Chains A and B, each alone.
Chain A
Amino acid sequence: MIPLIITLLLPLISSLLILFMNKENVKLIKYFTLISSLITFLISLFLLFNFNNTNPDIQYYINVTWVSSLDAGFRIGLDGMSLLLVMLITFISPIAILSSFDSIKTREKEYYFMILLLQFAMVGVFTALDTFLFYIFWELILIPMYFIIGIWGGKNRLYATVKFFIFTMVGSLFMLVAIIWLGNYVGNEILKTGFTTDYLKIKEVANLIPLNYQNWLFWAFAISFFIKVPLFPLHTWLPDAHTEAPTAGSVILAAILLKMGTYGLIRFNLEFFTSASIANASLISIFAVIGIIYGALVAAIQTDIKKLVAYSSVSHLGFVVLGIFSMTAIGIQGAIIQMVNHGLSTGMLFLLVGIIYERRHTREISEYGGIARIMPVYATFFAIAMFSSVGLPGLNGFVGEYLTLIGAFTSPILNSWGYAIAASTGVIFAAVYLLWMYQRVFFGTVDNPSNLNLKDLSKREWAFLVPIVIFIVWIGLHPSTFTNISENSTRKLVNKIENVKFGITPYPELLKNSNLKTNSNQINNNKIGK
């Protein structure tokens, strides 16, 4: 429990401490931020090592009464799914911070304050087990991100940041209404214990809500998550925000913020509104598949490297959504691993684009050519990230993509092989846009004289790229290390889904210590946490 509290609060405390530092003393601020985030990472490792993989339920559960009239509490905890994503945050944050050392040259104090505040809010989103608390963290994210893009961003940053802010705001308003309605209905109509925002309480009974209400609630949550993912056609804020954000902003945006949407879909839509999710799965999968192909096609003709990577996110996240709404254990497991993968590979691509942008101050593909000759090490790292993104077996991308595809193919809920086959064409397009870009940037001869004296990677840049490469290879070769963590949480969710749809439990071994009733909609009163 204590490591979880520290993981959550240490970034907040550090960010407040930065406010007391002299803004002239940039070095202190930088290293303080870095060390703080590294300590957070180390502490979060305790979460990983003490985690019980065989337990499908929430662990490290903390419940502190907060607003008693709303039954809103400070409830946090982790299961396998959220643990992986929290680890991703604590892993990516120091890397993002380290990558900002040279690129952020104005108002450093505010910048590092914002980054740490952002980290706090992100961990909050993935640990919150209270709808009210979740909403607070969800909205809190917007503030630092708004400033990070708006102050330290590129030329068109104001347009981008306002677009980002308003898009997300609009979505979360629907969610807020749904949270209130849900708390009232569950609290007063079903449980008759009064308004509640307790995630675990709601989860047990939310599927008893009649389907027509459930549908509305489902879409209210889903719209807000789809905007965040982003699912086609709600994605246009993403290329702008990604392109205009500073490197670290893009990295965090891609690696973590987009996952809030997909995480929310699993955590709330599937868990709460199982019947509605089943009913809408096909429709959403169609949009996911369109997104996969559409994102890849549009990426292919971008002239700005960063925009290309941004559109590739639309494509990759389509796989995640498809996996989630396949509602099979394989598909959801694939979606989770794909979330991590996308965080690593797209995060790395943004870091790499940032590296060359710092040297040349342009992201236009046509400005480059023959870079492999000038910066061989950089080209090698770029190739690794590219192949990871293309889904080359042996690297991480393949595992996630392939599992989501098998999930979609075998899904009894989608019940059609068409989704998976249409989606799998995405692997060709991914090769097309990435290899084409790689060729234009790295191959050929150096025609642009300003590229002649580019320096290859510095030690600092090595330092933040190598850890990512390690995980890219690790997940690719031995995905079990990671899939085992979320395995049982996923199975439990699939038990619930299959039970609602077909009245069967595919993973009966998880029922031993819970009394999930197989005949009716599920109410499980299993003990929470350790």
Chain B
Amino acid sequence: MTPEMLLNLSIVILLIPILDFAFLIFFGKKLGRASGFIGTSVLGIDLILALIVAFVRLTQYPNETMQQYKFDWINLGNTSVTLGIGIDNLTAIMLIVVTLISFLVHLFSMEYMREDSRFSRFYAYLGLFTFSMLGIVIANNFLNMFIFWELVGVSSYLLIGFWYEKDSAANAGKKAFIVNRIGDLGFLIGLMIIYSTYGTFIFEDVFGKIHAGILPFNSGFWLTLMGILVFGGAIGKSAQFPLHVWLPDAMEGPTPVSALIHAATMVAAGVYLTARVYPMFTADALLFIAYIGALTAFIAATIAITQVDFKRVLAYSTVSQLGYMVMGLGVGAFTSGFMHLVTHAWFKALLFLASGSVIHAMHHSMHKAHNHDMDPQDIRNMGGLRKTMPITYITFLFATIAISGIPFTSGFLSKDGILAGTLAFGELSGHWFIPIAGFGAAAITAFYMFRLTIIAFHGKPKTSIAEHTHENNGFITIPLIILAVLSLWFFYSMNPLNPDEGWFHQRTQAPQSAVPASLMWNFMNPEKEINANENINVSNNRLHTISNELNKTGIPAFLVTHTLVSQPKVETEFKETLHHAHVPAMILSLIVAISGIILSFVYYQFKVYDPDSIVNLYPWLYKGSFNKWFFDEIYQATFINGTIGLAKVGAWFDFNVIDGIVNFVAAIGRGLGHITGIFDFHIIDGLVNLSAKISGWLGTALRKPQSGTIQAYLVLTVLGLVVLILLFI
């Protein structure tokens, strides 16, 4: 297959779900239940195409750089914004992850959402989501990624709030969108820095220019900041500390949605982004990433221990595992971090779908018993499901073992690699917090996952509802079985203890860093001569000048590639240490995982000790964990109330100050009008009227003598004469 065909096929893969969406939006209502079949089969076709593309890419072109297709989107000044798609090994693997899980979720929902009144709408939204997610995966530039990034946010908003009659669901949808937006703000600002510095969004061009020594504002600090800002998008979408608060609430969405979006694919988009733009991170940025990941992994794990809602435990476990992936990337264990994304996608989707299976069965049982008050998701109402739902139980157990990192599972391969990475990193950089948090979280993970399994599936049923549950039909169990098989080791490497020689590791080697050597970790710097054109100084960082200069110098694109190891391998001190850390890490991680499991059995299965005894011993610890360390309350008190307060001040200012001034001026105008009115009426009109009155009065006065009687006139004439005589004589 030629590269062109590969790209065309990828475009087809991208477009199929959006056509599905459009079709179901317009005709879904008429189709009713059939829309589920249509959606599922369309996704099946998409999956087959994705498998073909991935297979061709990974076997025919495993060493090629990204195969791309580009087109101009808008012309801007002297440059234009170029968008496009690209296929490389990472993309190929992600294509399978997205389409397969999406397909299984489509299948699962046929049964799970059967009785929903907006069944077709649900399938339409799933199509929209799949489209957006595939868009992220096959982007070859930052802007494309951001566009689909936001579209994924919208589909997530629509799906979390799918049952919008519930206030909690509507709230959760809004919260998810807004919290994500906060992270995206960083991403957006990062994009502005990228575009203003490099005049392009294409990954390889940006990295090429970084490699050539062009830095934003000519400073390494800004390069670090640029990386952290872009990673801000990942903090939001992958629910990293401190923006992790939206993900547990997002469990208000239907459970298949939680499996698809909030466990396997969308939340992994942040990790994928981090992996995708890996070459641009400086040492400081990577350290930041590693700390964020470690904190997230640890904090979320501590919260998961005490939760009683089936899905919430899984949600915090997702947050914690996402923290692992981010931590893995941060410490430089690129391949393992990315691999954990993939392996986690399978077993976490499985955990959620299995929880969906349980909830569905509980619902049915409640329905039969005419009980509508019980919470079907509360694990304290379950127990004994091992007997009634054997397939769900076995598959769930597979996933639990995988997430705990026990050998012969996929989870072991990836998790162990990350932990080895943290050990090597701790040794080389001295940041020992990271491996401690990593191993600590591993122990806690094994503990709370077995706690969940034991409480929900083992022992005796705690309610009659749980007692009368039944295993679900094939729509639900087949996806579970497929995912359970995918949680085994041999898909990734024939050696169950070391994945280094497996195809996965071979094809997803860490890309070379593009940042100048001075900004890299010393121990990750390949021991070779640094490129001669490292220090092109650009004094004028104005956009068009830069892009003109660049066009002249013709800086080559930086080749982002994940080559086979057969290529001349770049040895770094880190890789060396990582190699040595492998065995100790494996032993240590096994010890912590198994002790976590044993502890869990001790407390919950055999009840040697009462868990309440610890609660009573450290009540604040329990309360803190149970209440999620009060993040929501703190945010409510500070950011949310602060914003609302500020808004109120603004509205008050608008109404009283600005409009006050306006109305005051108007009042002055009116007052002046009144005064002139008074002046007009009393003075001017008064004067006019006065003169009129005077003449009237004079008239009346003068009228009196002119009475018309001759006698009077005679008297007056005589009087007049007398006066004249007196005057003149």
Q: How far is the CB of A405 from chain B (nearest CB, A)?
A: 6
Q: Which of the segments B72-80, B94-102, B522-530, B614-622 contacts the partner chain?
A: B72-80
The reply to whether B174 and A439 contact each other, CB–CB distance below 8 Å, is yes
Provide the bound-state CA to CA distance between A436 and B72, in Å. Answer: 36
- A257 touches B (CB below 8 Å): no
User: Out of B148, B171, B185, B188, which one reaches A439, CB within 8 Å?
Assistant: B171
Of chain A, the residue at the smallest CB distance from B146 is A393
- Pick the contact of A428: B73, B146, B181, B662 (CB < 8 A): B181
Is B154 a contact partner of A387 (Cβ separation < 8 A)?
Answer: yes
Asked whether A301 lies within 8 Å of B181 as measured between CB atoms, the reply is: no
A463 at the interface (CB under 8 A from B): no
Number of A-B residue pairs at CB separation under 8 A:
140
In the complex with contacts A300-B644, A393-B146, A424-B189 CB distance below 8 A: yes
Complex alpha-carbon distance, A400 and B177, angstroms: 21
Q: Is B167 an interface residue (CB 8 A)?
A: yes
Could you tell me the distance in whole angstroms from the C-beta of B219 to the nearest C-beta in chain A? 13
Taking CB atoms, residues of chain B closer than 8 Å to A398 are: 147, 150
Q: How far is the CA of A410 from the CA of B648 in the complex (A)?
A: 34
Q: Does B435 contact A (CB under 8 A)?
A: no
CB-CB contacts below 8 Å: B643-691 with A = 643-644, 646-648, 650-651, 654, 658-659, 662, 666
Given known contacts A297-B646, A435-B177, A443 and B170 CB-to-CB distance under 8 angstroms: yes
Q: Is the CB of A428 within 8 A of B182?
A: yes
Tell yes or no: B411 within 8 A of A by CB.
Answer: no
Please tell me if B192 contacts chain A, counting CB pairs below 8 Å: yes
A155 at the B interface (CB under 8 A) = no
Chain A CB within 10 Å — which of B149, B167, B169 has the most?
A: B167
Q: Does A36 have its Cβ within 8 Å of any Cβ on chain B?
A: no
**Any B CB within 8 A of the CB of A118:** no
Q: A233-B658, A443-B170 are in contact. Are A424 and B164 (CB under 8 A)?
A: no
**Per a CB cutoff under 8 Å, which of A405, A424, A444 touches B170?**
A444
Known A-B contacts A297-B647, A479-B74, A484-B75; the reply to A393 vs B150 at CB < 8 A is: yes
Stretch at the interface among A62-70, A131-139, A325-333: A325-333
With most chain A CB atoms within 10 A of its CB, the pick from B77, B543, B544 is: B77
Q: Which of A368-413 contact B (CB under 8 A)?
A: 370, 372-373, 387, 392-394, 398-399, 402-403, 405-406, 409-410, 412
Report how far A237 CA is from B150 CA in the complex, Å.
Answer: 34
Distance between Cα atoms of A74 and B648 in the complex (Å): 49
Determine whether A432 belongs to the interface, using a CB cutoff of 8 Å to chain B.
Answer: yes
Measured between C-beta atoms, what is the minimum distance from B554 to chain A in Å? 21
Contact B542 A410 (CB under 8 A): yes
Give Cα distance in the complex from A439 to B167, angstroms: 9
What are the residues of chain B within 8 A of A479 when measuring CB–CB?
73-74
User: When the two chains form their complex, are residues A428 and B178 in contact, meaning their CB atoms are under 8 A apart?
Assistant: yes
Q: Which of A329, A393, A412, A445 contacts B151 (CB 8 A)?
A: A393
Q: From residue B230, how far is it (CB to closest CB) to chain A in Å?
A: 14
Q: Give chain B residues whose Cβ lies under 8 Å from the Cβ of A302.
A: 651
Within 8 A of A (CB), among B405-438: none
Q: Does B195 have its Cβ within 8 Å of any Cβ on chain A?
A: yes
The verdict on B165 contacting chain A, using a C-beta distance below 8 Å, is yes
The answer to whether A431 touches B181 (Cβ under 8 A) is yes
Give the residues in chain A near B188, CB-CB below 8 Å. Answer: 402, 405, 424, 427
Question: Residues of B contacting A420 with CB < 8 Å?
Answer: 189, 192
B161 interfacial by beta-carbon distance below 8 Å: yes
Q: Which residues of A contact B167 (CB under 8 A)?
A: 443-444
Within 8 Å by CB of A410, from B171, B196, B647, B659, lies: B196
Chain B residues contacting A439 (CB-CB under 8 Å) are 161, 170-171, 173-174
Bound Cα distance A333, B651 (Å)? 32
The interface residues of chain B lying within 8 Å CB-to-CB of A412 are 542
- In-complex Cβ contact of B185 among A233, A427, A483 (8 A): A427
Within B63-106, the residues touching A (CB, 8 Å) are 72-78
Main secondary structure of the interface of B (DSSP, over half): helix
- In contact, A394 and B76 (Cβ under 8 angstroms): no
A267, CB-defined interface residue at 8 Å: no
Assess whether A163 is in contact with B662, with CB atoms less than 8 Å apart: yes
Instruction: Considering the complex, give the chain A residue whose CB is closest to the CB of B199.
Output: A410
| Set B151, B174, B185: member contacting A435, Cβ < 8 A | B174
Closest Cβ of chain A: how far from B121's Cβ, in Å? Answer: 9
A298 is an interface residue with CB less than 8 A from chain B: yes
Question: Which residues of B (170-200) have their CB < 8 Å from a CB of A?
Answer: 170-171, 173-174, 177-178, 181-182, 184-185, 188-189, 192-193, 195-196
Are A329 and B170 CB-contacts (below 8 A) given A387-B154, A392-B154, A428-B181?
A: no
Smallest beta-carbon distance A411→chain B, Å: 9
Interface: A487 (CB within 8 A): yes
Residue of A nearest to B153 (CB): A392
- A459 to B391: give the CA distance in the assembly, Å: 52
- Distance in angstroms between the alpha carbons of A507 and B171 in the assembled complex: 50
In the complex, chain B residues whose CB is within 8 Å of the CB of A297: 643, 646-647, 650
Bound-state CA distance A479–B76 (Å) is 11
> What distance in Å separates the Cβ of A289 from its nearest Cβ neighbour in chain B?
14
Complex Cα–Cα for A420 and B190 (A): 12
Residues of A within 8 A of B75 (CB): 480, 483-484, 487
Q: Is the CB of B644 within 8 A of A394?
A: no
Contact indicator B164/A372 (Cβ below 8 Å): yes
Most chain A CB inside 10 Å of its own CB: which residue of B75, B177, B658: B75
Q: Could you tell me the distance in whole angstroms from the C-beta of A433 to the nearest C-beta in chain B?
A: 8
Contact between B181 and A409, CB atoms less than 8 A apart: no
In the complex, chain B residues whose CB is within 8 Å of the CB of A294: 650
Residues of chain A contacted by B643 (CB below 8 angstroms): 297, 300, 429, 432
A489 to chain B, nearest CB (A): 13
Interface string of A479-506 (1 = CB under 8 A from B): 1100110010001001000000000001
Complex: chain B residue closest to A436, CB-CB:
B174
A294–B658 CA distance with the chains assembled, in angstroms? 13
Tell me if A236 is interfacial: C-beta within 8 Å of chain B. Answer: yes
Known: A233-B658, A409-B195, A424-B188. 7 other contacts (CB 8 A): A297-B646, A301-B644, A406-B196, A417-B193, A432-B643, A443-B170, A479-B73
Can you list 12 A-B contacts (CB < 8 A)?
Answer: A163-B666, A237-B662, A329-B77, A370-B165, A393-B150, A402-B188, A409-B193, A412-B542, A428-B181, A431-B177, A431-B181, A484-B75
- Residues of chain B at the chain A interface (Cβ within 8 Å): 72-78, 146-151, 154, 157, 161, 164-165, 167, 169-171, 173-174, 177-178, 181-182, 184-185, 188-189, 192-193, 195-196, 542-544, 643-644, 646-648, 650-651, 654, 658-659, 662, 666
